[in-house]
Structure 1
């Protein structure tokens, strides 16, 4: 019987894959493709839902004041008002606000990463009596809301003359249990054999931390840096309580005062809001690869 006759008779040719197996494989591939398409459509819709308010804020910063709250909503301005980004500097002390916020965010982020990674190395690699208990107690402070100890903390800093100074904000946020927890989880995923081999070669604990652990923990450090920078930049309550002098105000305090003075100038308010969000967006865009990698690998045993 010829090959064509064999196929027509429903008998598979010797060496040829079964027809049913091919059909099932095609069905699985089609279902997988359809599932992926549904996932992408859902993620795109969710992303649009999250990003649309920011897009509207950005486009509104280029509109005239009477175009912003029109009904129905007009997304694009009839005439682009580029001078809004020039006028905001004349109407407000934006240079001082941004300068103070950048200074505090950079210093706090550096200290948070340094102290968090250094303390995490001690909890992860150095054995001492009561280490696990001390770590649990320290991490347990994350569950205590800041409002519970806000007043005692303010009295302590005021008693030593640190109220209404940048140093008060730096000391408040330079040390955090979350950073220690995040970095320790990552250090625990690094094989202990690397540290043991380094000790045999004569490296001290400080050199092991600096030459081995830090280079391996770049993704986790980037994650902690982005989270800390964002939290410090967006902090409102801390500067509100401790920074009373206008020359010490951050962007959040300054915008609140600006909105109170120009509560009807919506275009200027949108412009100032864009300027307050833009640095965070830039930091995340450049660090998102390390951020995702750091979150994904934290806590995984190597």
Structure 2
């Protein structure tokens, strides 16, 4: 098992060139399965983890998340980027304290969102949002952890498809110390290419949670890394719920035929 420092160093090198996929497991089993497929890094998913505990996204606690991150980091050899939601605090001091705690879980990267969770005012005031990123940067630097900081603008996800606003915030987050920029919700090639160009030379993370762009196409647009958020967890839930509903509503078991062979699962986890 590589040391935490080695994982963090490898993670930073991945961001220097090329394009890589950073899929999102929601538990130890899914993390180890993805590691076995040859991915170079992983990212947690707040939604996938929340659903696995029977809760809605954004309804898990800081304690829950830190325990989850520690478990994932200890379970795999790969660097892990933490979906740290909005830092589990509003004010910069709170974000800093929580980020400091998260770095001790062993994560190689950590993202901070600018969404408030309030549909009426979905994004933090820009000045406050910048101070929150700056506080996260100071917390990471305080113990020389080398954790990579990702600044996220959630405008498109919250029904504000304003590319100028999004890019303006991403640039501000870069100036405040973010190492990588992320604007989930961008879908058109023109928007993606514009965001990538605007934040260059900082790497840009693209969320792909639906059929569409291939890795090669994203790479051609200059995307450095691709994550899938809760999409893999949704695929798993889709198979489970579809088969279970068939049993409950029709009394038939045809859906069980799509299950992955138990022998192959046992073999995958026997190492």
Q: Which category of TM-score, normalised to the shorter sequence, fits these structures?
A: under 0.3
| Structure with higher RCO (Cα < 8 A, 6+ apart) | 1
TM value normalised by structure 1: 0.20
More helix by share: 1
**Higher radius of gyration, 1 or 2:** 1
> TM-score when scaled to structure 2?
0.22
Q: Which has the larger share of strand? A: 2
